[in-house]
Amino acid sequence: MHNNLLAYINQHISSPLTSEEEVLIKAAFQPKKLRKKQYFLQEGAVCKYVGFIVKGAMRQYSVDEKGVEHIVHLYIENYWAADRESSIMLTPSKYNIDAWEDTELLIITRAEMLDLMGKIPALVEMIRIMDERNAIANQRRLNATISNTAEKNYGEFVENHPQFIQRFPQHIIASYLGITKETLSRIKKQAMK
């Protein structure tokens, strides 16, 4: 199970981990299984763990005053799930993260992660690269949300995230795009012509 994580890390750094480093990493990350619908993080709690998804699918969302869920992130294999704001600032999270499918995670606390980064320089490099990618992805999504029509935005989503289309139902995708399921249904009908 930890091998997925080691492979992932090795793919994102310039020179491979030593076997001592691999041992440290295996020791630091704790396996965790979640059944479908189980929470990884509940609104109001401080996000204690970062989870690397070995298998499964999860979603992160907020719930507004009317009880409507707004999906802010979707996660599948090889994604890191956490509410960074809560985790870094130690504030109660505004989000829920739960398992959409039965999911296997490797979890670590932020403190342990920082500790590990102190011992393994390559991890610092990896985190920086992850942060960069993350920043780029966020930038793109924000620009798309602000600039595009719902139709174009959906089109780009299909292009860029075909995996998500297969793993999550349409009303989840709609929410991720900031539109209702009915609107998405109509957009798709339009696009078929």
Partner DNA sequence: AAAAAGCGTTGATATTTATCAACGCTTTTT
Partner DNA sequence: AAAAAGCGTTGATAAATATCAACGCTTTTT
Measured from the CB atom, the residue of 27 and 129 that comes closer to a copy of itself is 129
Q: Taking Cα atoms as reference points, which of 35, 111, 56, 49 lies closest to residue 81? A: 49
CA angle 185, 190, 193 (to 5 degrees): 135
Shortest spacing between CB 190 and DNA, in angstroms: 9
Measured from the CB atom, the residue of 35 and 133 that comes closer to a copy of itself is 133
Which residues contact a copy of itself (rule: CB under 8 A)?
Answer: 62, 64, 70, 72, 84-85, 88-89, 94, 124, 127-128, 131-132, 134-136, 138-143, 145-147, 178
Shortest spacing between CB 98 and a copy of itself, in angstroms: 17
CA angle 84, 85, 89 (to 5 degrees): 115
Give the one entry of a copy of itself, DNA, none that residue 192 binds, where binding means its C-beta sits below a cut-off of 5 to 8 angstroms depending on kind.
none
Alpha carbon distance 75, 70 (integer Å): 15
Measured from the CB atom, the residue of 7 and 135 that comes closer to a copy of itself is 135
Cβ proximity of 46 and 86 under 8 Å: yes
Alpha carbon distance 138, 101 (integer Å): 24
Measured from the CB atom, the residue of 19 and 149 that comes closer to DNA is 149
Shortest spacing between CB 112 and a copy of itself, in angstroms: 16
- Which is it for the CA torsion 159, 160, 166, 170, positive or negative? negative
Cβ proximity of 192 and 83 under 8 Å: no
- For residue 181, state whether it binds DNA (rule: CB under 7 A): yes
Shortest spacing between CB 67 and DNA, in angstroms: 11
- For residue 10, state whether it binds DNA (rule: CB under 7 A): no
